[in-house]
Structures are given as C-alpha cells and as structure tokens.
C-alpha cells in the first residue's frame, strides 16, 4: 500500500498471520502483568517470534497501535460520506514511519471500511481525516494546529509531551522501556468520538471520562 491508495482486502485470517514479533519488547519478568497489553498488540496483527530475532522498531509498534486506535474507536455517522467510505489516516509534519505505516495498513479493513493514508498540511485536509498523527516536528505549533480542526471528529494522535494539554486525544510515550500511550477523553467526547473500554484498559493513563 502507498499513500493515497486504498486497501481492499479484509481482515480475514489477519489474527492468525505471522507479523513482526512481540516478546523482544518486554522483559520476561514483567510478562504476566503485561498480558492485556500484549493481546492488544496481537490484535493489531503482531504475533510472537523467537527472542533472538530483531525486536520491533519504535515505529513498527506505533504503526500497529494506530491501526488499533481505529479498530477500537467509533466515529459519528456523519464522519463518513457513505457506508463504504474509507478511514482517512493523515500524517501532519515530518513522517517518521518510513514504510512501516504502509505495511501495517496494507489490505486492512475495519468494520468493512478500507484505509487511505495521506500526508496532510492544510486545514481542510486535516479536518477530512479520521485519524491524524501529529509528528514531533509540529510540536511548536501543535496548539494552533489542533485549534484549526476543533469541532471535527478527528482522532488526533501525538508523539511528544504536552500534546494532550494542547487538546490532543491520544499521545505516545515511553514507559518501562516500551511504547505506550495516554488518552484525553475530553476532546474526544466533544466531537462525539467514542473510544472502546478495551482501549482505555491498556492505556498508561486516561484523563476525563464519558458521562
């Protein structure tokens, strides 16, 4: 899959497919308490491989998490033109993923919808996204960027400190040597984005709540 091209194949067989491995990310001593987290990554299409193989890179993990954010979130019906409209995943700023994002989303669907990946910069493009990853290159103007898409049902995902303080919904962070994420439900609730309880359970922290 390349940017601006749709995926067409469903998820059939995805969960049993061998992907990029998992255990090298986590010390065995903490394995049991990480079971929910491991399962969450597994359902993004990652599977276990021998520890002697190379561990997942940071952005392989983050790519898988972006897919799961879409899988475990619900958008208002008005966010899609029709039942077959794709999810639009946008990258604002410098793209740190390389080919990892394309490989992760290739031929994937969620709830019958394929994915389109785009690099975006303008307000109109960003507001048309369902998931918007805001690169660390945009940290200085992140507050301004988020204000431009205020009111639009966009699941914003950041990659730097203070992203949630500026109005972002999800932010990546490093915790105990692994990639995790934190959630701010207030902006999500404001645009009628519903994050599944299973997503909240594996977050490092959750701000706010649904009423």
Domain architecture of the chain: domains with CATH: 59-207 (3.40.50)
Given this model, what pLDDT does residue 195 score?
Answer: 97
- Does the pTM surpass 0.85? The reply is no
Neighbouring C-alpha atoms within 13 Å toward the C-beta of 115: 28
Q: Which of 19-23, 26-30, 137-141, 150-154 is least confident?
A: 19-23
Given this model, what pLDDT does residue 9 score?
Answer: 44
pLDDT digits (tens, 9 = 90+) for 16-51: 332 333 323 433 334 334 444 455 554 444 444 445
Burial class (CB in 10 A: 0-12, 13-18, 19+), 105: buried
Query: Other CB atoms closer than 10 Å to residue 53's CB: what's the count?
Result: 11
Query: Other CB atoms closer than 10 Å to residue 210's CB: what's the count?
Result: 11
d(CA 16, CA 187): 35
pLDDT digits (tens, 9 = 90+) for 178-207: 889 999 999 999 999 999 998 999 899 999
């Amino acid at each position: 899959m390349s940017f601006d091209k749709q995926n067409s194949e469903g998820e059939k067989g995805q969960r049993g497919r061998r992907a990029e491995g998992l255990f090298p990310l986590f010390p065995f001593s903490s394995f049991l308490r990480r079971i929910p987290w491991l399962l969450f990554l597994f359902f993004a299409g990652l599977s276990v491989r021998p520890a002697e193989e190379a561990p997942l890179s940071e952005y392989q993990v983050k790519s898988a998490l972006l897919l799961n954010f879409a899988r475990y979130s619900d958008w208002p019906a008005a966010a899609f033109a029709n039942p077959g409209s794709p999810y639009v995943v946008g990258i604002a700023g410098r793209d740190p993923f390389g080919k990892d994002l394309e490989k992760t989303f290739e031929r994937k669907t969620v709830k019958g919808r394929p994915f389109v990946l785009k690099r975006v910069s303008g307000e109109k493009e960003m507001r048309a996204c369902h998931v918007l990853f805001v690169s660390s290159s945009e940290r200085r103007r992140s507050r301004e960027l988020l204000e431009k898409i205020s009111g639009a049902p966009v699941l914003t995902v950041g990659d730097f400190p203070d992203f949630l303080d500026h109005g972002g919904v999800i932010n990546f962070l490093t915790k105990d040597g692994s990639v995790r994420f934190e959630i701010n439900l207030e902006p999500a609730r404001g645009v009628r984005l519903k994050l599944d309880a299973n997503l909240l359970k594996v977050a490092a922290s959750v701000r706010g709540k649904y009423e």
